[in-house]
Structure 1
Amino acid sequence: MKGFTVLLLCFVSAKLCAQQDKQSDTSVNHPVPLITATKADLLNNVDVIVNTQVALNNYFKDGKYSSSQFAVNQFRLEIKGKIFKDKVYFRFRDRYTKDPETQSVDHISSSTDLAFVGYNLSDRTSITVGKMCAAWGGYEFDMNPIDIYEYNDIVENADNFLTGVQFTWMASPDHTLSAQILNSRTKTYTELYENVPEMEEAKFPAAYVASWNGSFLEGKFQTLWSFSVFQEANKNDKPVNMYYTAIGNQFRSKNWLLQYDFKWSSEELDRTGVVSSLIPENVLGHAAQHVDYKEHWLRIVYSANQQWKLSAIGMVSNARWKDITDQTASSKTLRTSWGVIPSVEFYPIENYNLKFFATYVGRYLKYNSYSKTTLGQTNNNPSRFMIGIISPLLIL
């Protein structure tokens, strides 16, 4: 809790100094305030937010109860704001529910989601530099992580936060375009893929991301679309790439919210890692090649009133390995993952984003004949029932 500790020490030190001045020097009739009006105005443009999700998690395996525990599922400290006449902006967010391991590529902790500074070149154009979200598109990834009870496979296993530069252009009030050049990963090639025959690490492993945010029908229909190319390595002097497309669509009415994402990731080298995780070392001792993932994600939210919301998420993900040579394999899709997440949310305070929730997260993992006979996989149903509280607590 480094950020919170520093903030606390600042307030404690300020109070102690004020007490000491009052007790030791009574000759000053008009002491200089610790925080001047100028500094106070600056603090008005800075937010300190603690994003939290705390719950009682009840776990089930293949329909049988296994265990329960209280847990802080999400705790992310965020500081963001604008300075210098709203020209310069910054954002920092650190996750305290993840091990803070310094990454070998960008030299920043894996627990740090965001650490960037930006500059508004004009009213429509800006540039951002630092560690940021890859602008992948899709509403599943766009949601605050504390509002997510379970991610689908691609987002769950992706390197979501990467270091680089972003250019953003607001073409009109309803359409925004952005382009990013980022490190393609936070770890080294060998750490992720081990030694793949005939391949060598790219000299500049980079990700190129283009995204479009659109708004139609006075905001009732919106889009979050993106296309990305990640260069990971070279083989026979040719680039080895990953191609990722995310198409997010949203429709909102008075009481209903509908969101649908389609995601497709074609990976010459298994960047997502689900396929590689299914293959034992005696079958393949390094990352798999020629894989792809296709996903559908649908979220429906019904607002009964200002306090009660009912929602349901349905999602499916296919993990496919094109290099299967067994002719008896039923298909090249090693695993199909289904998910259902019905939820009830209660907001006790009007116009305040704090909610109590109860949700069931059901996953159904089904494997093809090759996965079962050669890779030793079996169908299973991991699930959990959660009761808890969620809120982005605005401290400052």
Structure 2
Amino acid sequence: MRKSLKSFLISVLLLTPFLMISQVRDSLSEPLIPTSKIELLKNINITFDMRMEFQAYTFRGGDHYYNGIQFENGYTAMGFAAKLHDRLDFHFRNRFNKGGAVQTLDQLGSNIELAYLDLDLSLKVDLLLGKMSAFFGGYEYEFSPMFVLEYNDIHNNVLAYVTGAGITFQAFEDHQFGLQVLNSRTMLYSDIYGDVVAEDIQEPDWPVAVVGNWRGSFLDGKLETNYSLSYSNQVRKRGTYFFTLGHKYQNRNLTLMYDFDYSYEQVDTKGIVTNIFGNDQIAENVTYIENWLRAEYRFSPKFKGLLTLMTSTAYGNSTTSNDHIRTSYGMIPTVYYSPFEKIDLRFFLAYIGRYYDYSNYAIDNLNASSYNKNEVRIGLIAPLLLL
């Protein structure tokens, strides 16, 4: 009996301070966030995006073979967007599973993907200033990396987020034009390549990229186009000519997308051919040509099937000719399952098959050998709107 009474008294003494705090909070005459400020929250969006997966993979090439099983955080990012004024928006996104070292050219960490202002100059003209996504065309590039399990070779190596200025012009209801002037890279050339340079390569006064873009809509929105043309100088007096022709057709439950990419690079910016040559010099006069096709079909509100097919061909200057170096092939069938109506949470099952076929020239002269990679992934994709 005494032990029970003692336990009761101890419980009362421990709980009394919390009860007093609760009474004080309940008696507040004003909310912690003033009513006049609550309206501001309607103009703020906070997002948390993640892709987490369990993967099993194999690699086969020449005399090499290895496999593995693991969990992986494929994409994790938090974004903020706010309407600061009727004509001014702010956008920011931090990707957590990306290096955060401050870049020597734009003075931001590479994990900061977006940090820009969007100013409405008029009903048809917008001005963008800061670190943003380049206006490259095509629909492969349109997807957030959260939704892309494997990019084709160009977009897997392209520098997508850079600092500069851009302008968009809604010329007609179904046609928008965009123009950007950007840094062509985030780091000084010497910091990227170190001592691995060609003899006649020099740092330009301004490593600049100019990107033009056209978006069109036809057949009451069923057919869309997303074309771009860009030039960027990576080094003095030499640069990259890159254009993309993107097409999208959508009708009821079916969506088809096809991109054609062409990149001629007087100095190899993707690094694929440079790595194949392996001679401690940057490859020059390199060409990449790609095709990308994605089909989506919604079987029901909860199930959707995807199929992505891709090819990428690389040519490199060996002596006097532009030789075919390799062609890569990719296939990614995927099934999405979305169990909830009001929350965009998707479980997926996917197979990723990649095959890299080297030319006779690369096999005979560069000691290359063809190989393939295979993966099975089970995971979830969660683009969550927190606020």
Q: TM-score, normalised by structure 2?
A: 0.89
- Name the CA shift for 1:108/1:171 in 2 (closer, same or farther; >3 Å): same
- Say if 2:324 and 2:361, in contact at 8 Å, map to a contact too: no
- Say if 1:42 and 1:83, in contact at 8 Å, map to a contact too: no
- Say if 2:283 and 2:317, in contact at 8 Å, map to a contact too: no
Tell me the percent identity: 33
- Does residue 1:265 correspond to 2:263, yes or no? yes
> By how many angstroms is 1:289 displaced?
0.5
Query: Partner residue of 2:248?
Result: 250
| Distance in 1 between residues matched to 2:26 and 2:94, nearest whole Å | 42
| Distance in 2 between residues matched to 1:227 and 1:27, nearest whole Å | 60
Q: Tell me the C-alpha RMSD between the 2 structures.
A: 2.2
- Say if 1:290 and 1:323, in contact at 8 Å, map to a contact too: no
- SS of corresponding position for 2:202: strand
| Distance in 2 between residues matched to 1:280 and 1:259, nearest whole Å | 35
Please list, as runs of the form range in 1=range in 2, the aligned pairs for 1:217-296 lying within 5 A after superposition: 217-234=219-236, 239-281=237-279, 285-296=280-291
Query: Partner residue of 1:101?
Result: 101
Match of 1:206 among 198, 205, 208: 208
| Aligned-partner residue type, residue 70 of structure 2 | Q
Match of 1:62 among 52, 60, 63: 60
Query: Partner residue of 2:43?
Result: 45
- Name the CA shift for 1:185/1:242 in 2 (closer, same or farther; >3 Å): same
- Name the CA shift for 1:365/1:29 in 2 (closer, same or farther; >3 Å): closer
Query: Partner residue of 2:13?
Result: none
- Name the CA shift for 1:358/1:29 in 2 (closer, same or farther; >3 Å): closer
- Does residue 1:306 correspond to 2:301, yes or no? yes
Q: TM-score, normalised by structure 1?
A: 0.87
- SS of corresponding position for 1:392: strand
Query: Partner residue of 2:116?
Result: 116
Query: Partner residue of 2:75?
Result: 74
Query: Partner residue of 1:385?
Result: 376
Count how many residue pairs are aligned between Structure 1 and Structure 2.
Answer: 365
Query: Partner residue of 1:316?
Result: 311
- SS of corresponding position for 1:218: coil
User: Deviating runs (4+, > 4 A) in structure 1?
Assistant: 22-30
Rg larger in 1 or in 2? 2
Query: Partner residue of 1:165?
Result: 165
| Aligned-partner residue type, residue 185 of structure 2 | R
| Distance in 2 between residues matched to 1:269 and 1:37, nearest whole Å | 58
| Distance in 1 between residues matched to 2:43 and 2:173, nearest whole Å | 23
- Name the CA shift for 1:46/1:278 in 2 (closer, same or farther; >3 Å): same
- Does residue 1:89 correspond to 2:89, yes or no? yes
Please list, as runs of the form range in 1=range in 2, the aligned pairs for 1:303-382 lying within 5 A after superposition: 303-325=298-320, 332-382=323-373
- SS of corresponding position for 2:99: coil
> By how many angstroms is 1:143 displaced?
0.7
